[in-house]
Amino acid sequence: MLKPGSPACLHLTTKKLNIMAQNVYRAKEEVFFDDGREIELLHFVYGKENINELRNNPDRVLAAIDEYARTKKYLMNVGDKKGAIVVDEITSRKPEVMVELGGYVGYSTILFGQAVRNAGGQRYWCLERSPEFAAVIMALIDLSGLSDTVKVIVGPSDESIHRLHSSGALQNIDMLFMDHYKPAYVTDLKLCEELKLITPGTVLTADNVIEPGNPPYLKYVRSTCEQKRNVTKEVKVNGAEEKFPDRTANQYKRPEKLNHSLLGDPNLIYQSRLEHSFEPTGEPDGVEITRCVGVEAA
Ligand SMILES: C[S@@+](CC[C@H](N)C(=O)[O-])C[C@H]1O[C@@H](n2cnc3c(N)ncnc32)[C@H](O)[C@@H]1O
């Protein structure tokens, strides 16, 4: 039995901490994306000696992305811990159609696209605003062998949702994963509600609800229908007010234009819960899981 505080015990503790540190992503720098690292990641992955073992193997591609983020530069991926929470939801909900808002380099796209396919689903739509990031996602989806299930749509999420809906390609969303511009979670959800894409049975999953946090989104999905109807009346009269800290509101170089006059469908009944977890850097964060369980008569 090792005595607490003994040299042997300290040695073991240090060894355990080192192993844990090796498994986390590098720390977030001041500038932590859109500085060339996304293309560097592609060279890292495609330059691997065992590249042929990665082909058609989503897990090996994810491991290569994780290796880059642990040993080279931080990547703003959902990571394996929060990712596992969403994968569990996919496995139990078995969505035919899942939509992701914000794909970055495709980590969540590969992880969840594979889970949707394994659960018998047909389509995983990845909506990514940046054409450069979308090109990286497409290359890694092709490498993973998931192109039959995953389609990447380039452009701002609201425009892409409108386009997919009006073309008839998107008529219902069984699962939604939100991980893009934080102030757009509510406006995009309301847009999907107005287009009748959210129906009883739809599961909403929202990343980063603790870090950096998203109080307006949590308030919306945790409200009763009556509370939402009252807010809707208020918005009609005075307009919506959503305040985010500057670093969240101005995270991207190109400003986002959000439609705050959307009213959504306040009669959709949601049941919501927070799953506590961790960022791939080890920081605490959480995923909000919300299920649409019915429609209330107004
Ligand atoms: C945190 S990253 C997504 C990480 C990714 N889901 C993962 O876990 O691997 C956020 C992404 O959202 C994209 N984005 C930001 N605003 C957007 C918008 N309005 N529409 C679509 N994508 C957007 C950014 O370009 C960025 O790639």
Cis check for the bond before 212: say yes or no (omega within 30 of 0).
Answer: yes
User: Residue 219 is which amino acid?
Assistant: K
Please check whether residue 29 lies inside any domain of the structure. no
pLDDT digits (tens, 9 = 90+) for 77-99: 999 999 999 999 999 999 999 99
Residue 101 pairs in a beta bridge with 127, 178
**Non-local CB neighbours of 31 within 8 Å, separated by 6+ positions:** none
- Note the pLDDT of residue 70: 98
Q: Which helix (DSSP H) or strand (DSSP E) does residue 53 occupy?
A: helix 51-54
Contact 101, 158 (CB under 8 A): no
108 lines ligand 1 (CB under 6 A): yes
Q: Scanning the structure block, which residue is given the tokens 């859109």?
A: 34
The DSSP bridge partners found for residue 100 are: 126, 177
| Residue 162 domain flag | yes
Confidence class for position 242, pLDDT limits 50, 70, 90: confident
Count the neighbouring beta carbons within 10 Å of the beta carbon of residue 52.
9
For the CA atoms of 148, 149, 155, 159, what is the dihedral angle to 10 degrees? 120
Interface confidence (ipTM) of the complex: 1.00
In terms of DSSP H, where are the helices of 150-255? Answer: 157-167, 184-194, 215-221, 225-238, 246-249
Residue 199 covered by a domain: yes
pLDDT of residue 170: 98
- CATH code of the domain covering residue 168: 3.40.50.150
**Residues 4-52: tens digit of each pLDDT:** 666 655 554 554 444 445 589 999 999 999 999 999 999 999 999 999 9
Number of folded domains that form the chain: 1
Q: Report yes or no on 8 lying in a domain.
A: no
Q: Please list the residues that pair with 97 across neighbouring strands.
A: 123
Q: How far apart are CA 262 and CA 183, in angstroms?
A: 13
Domain-located, residue 278: yes
| Closest to 272 measured CA to CA, from 206, 173, 189 | 206
Contacts of 88 (CB under 8 A, 6+ apart): none
Cα dihedral value 80, 85, 91, 93, nearest 10: -150
CA of 54 relative to ligand 1 center, distance in Å: 25
Backbone angles phi, psi at 45, to 5 degrees: -70, -50
User: Which of 263, 186, 181, 178 minimizes the C-alpha distance to 222?
Assistant: 186
Counting from 1 in the atom list of ligand 1, the atom nearest the Cα of 105 is 9
Residue 224 lies in a domain: yes
- Residue tagged 């757009």 (tokens): 184
Q: Count CB-CB contacts under 10 A for residue 75.
A: 23
Report how many helices (DSSP H) and strands (DSSP E) the chain contains, helices first.
12, 7
Cβ of 208 less than 6 Å from ligand 1? no
Instruction: Give Rg (Cα) of the chain.
Output: 20
97 lines ligand 1 (CB under 6 A): no
pLDDT (average), residues 291-295: 98
Q: Rounded distance, CA 186 to CA 225, Å?
A: 15
Residue 162 lies in domain: 37-295
Full-model pTM: 0.92
Tokens (6 digits) for 22:
């090796």
Per-residue model confidence as pLDDT tens digits over 90-127:
999 999 999 999 999 999 999 999 999 999 999 999 99
Rounded to an integer, what distance in angstroms lies between the CA atom of residue 230 and that of residue 24?
44
Q: What is the pLDDT of residue 237?
A: 66
pLDDT at 128: 98
The two tokens of residue 113 are: 């696209």
In a domain, 82, yes or no: yes
Asked if 185 contacts 218 with a C-beta cutoff of 8 angstroms, the reply is no
Residue 242 in any domain: the answer is: yes
Pocket test for ligand 1, best of 74, 128, 252 (most atoms within 8 A of CB): 128
Indicate if ligand 1 lies below 6 Å from the C-beta of 128.
yes
Percent of the chain with pLDDT over 70: 90
- What is the CA(252)–ligand 1 centre distance, in A? 10
Atom of ligand 1 nearest to the CA of 109: 9
Residue identified by tokens 């540190």 is 21
Tell whether ligand 1 has an atom less than 6 A from the beta carbon of residue 25: no
Q: pLDDT by residue (tens digit) across 66-77?
A: 999 999 999 999
